[in-house]
Amino acid sequence: MNMKVVKDFKDYEIIAASNGMKYERWGNVYLLRPDPLVMWENTLETPKLDAIYHRSNKGGGYWENKRNINTWTISYKDLKFNLKQMGFKHTGLFPEQAINWDFLRNKIENTNRPIKVLNLFAYTGGISVAALKEGASVVHVDSSRGMIDWAKENVKLNKLDDKPIRFLVDDCLKFVKREIRRGNKYDVIVMDPPSYGKGANGEIWSLEKDLFNLINLCQELLSDSPLLFMVNSYSGLSPSVIENILKITNKKEHANIYSYEIGLPITKNDLVLPCGITGVIEYE
């Protein structure tokens, strides 16, 4: 296991981090948000500040705006994303995932055949946009209608709405089981499962109980010549856990299985903030 760090996200940076908070620049918007992994103490200066997210002792929290920045747009290389202030401190984009956007694009670019991508728990569509940019076709599945609509905004923002993408509001586990019965196959499968969630019709998702089953079932959806299987997690799992599941469930020969942390550099010093983990099966 190693750490992969985003280095060229010109529209995003963690300027400084201390006392459980990170001071960030998103384009020309400056935010102060809590992060439980910022356990060190130091002076935290915020000369420019547009909004602060305050946690509540009862759970959740609220945004305190210094100016009206409810929605805005940032870019990463040739990709664009609409951002919004959400509950639970989020903006609709995890910039550390730029590591995986680049990785996927490079893999697709170096093939000379059509690539079909299945994006599960697909959120606002970072991976979907990256795959479409390289000419892949995408099936984008999320249980939230709001997230699907947001992903459609991002696809349109990148002028990719005429490209082959299907958006489905569905429970990911049920969708995968139906795809197996239909006999559909994919060259790339990416998933970003939460710790806990509810499906489109109230189905309960539990990472601890359901992750192994989902990954195991997804192996049946892989094409005869798959390209990539990727699992992202922000749930505090050890990278070794994801790697072990991938090793046990993998049914293909010539598969390179590994995992890594993804992180973001802190501009003020040489620290890196860990942000999540990724497990990969890379097929030869």
pLDDT at 9: 98
pLDDT at 6: 97
Whether residue 46 is predicted with pLDDT greater than 70 in this model: the reply is yes
Per-residue pLDDT tens digits for 182-230: 999 999 999 999 888 877 778 888 888 999 999 999 999 999 999 999 9
Q: What average pLDDT does the chain have?
A: 95
Considering the domain 95-283 in this protein, what is its CATH number?
3.40.50.150
Write down the domain spans for the chain.
2-89, 95-283
Q: Which CATH architecture has domain 2-89?
A: Sandwich (2.60)
CA distance 243 to 256: 11
Tokens 């905004």 belong to: 153
Question: CB count, 10 Å around CB of 252?
Answer: 14
- Going by pLDDT thresholds of 50, 70 and 90, the confidence category of residue 270 is confident
**Which of 154-158, 201-205, 265-269, 271-275 is predicted with the least confidence, judged by mean pLDDT?**
201-205
Of 75, 82, 15, 88, the C-alpha closest to 45 is 15
- Cα of 69 vs its chain's centroid, Å: 23
CA–CA distance from 134 to each of 79, 81, 160 (Å)? 12, 17, 11
CA–CA distance from 188 to each of 12, 25, 104, 108, 271 (Å)? 28, 32, 9, 9, 33
Q: Residues 26, 28, 29, CA angle at the centre, nearest 5°? A: 55
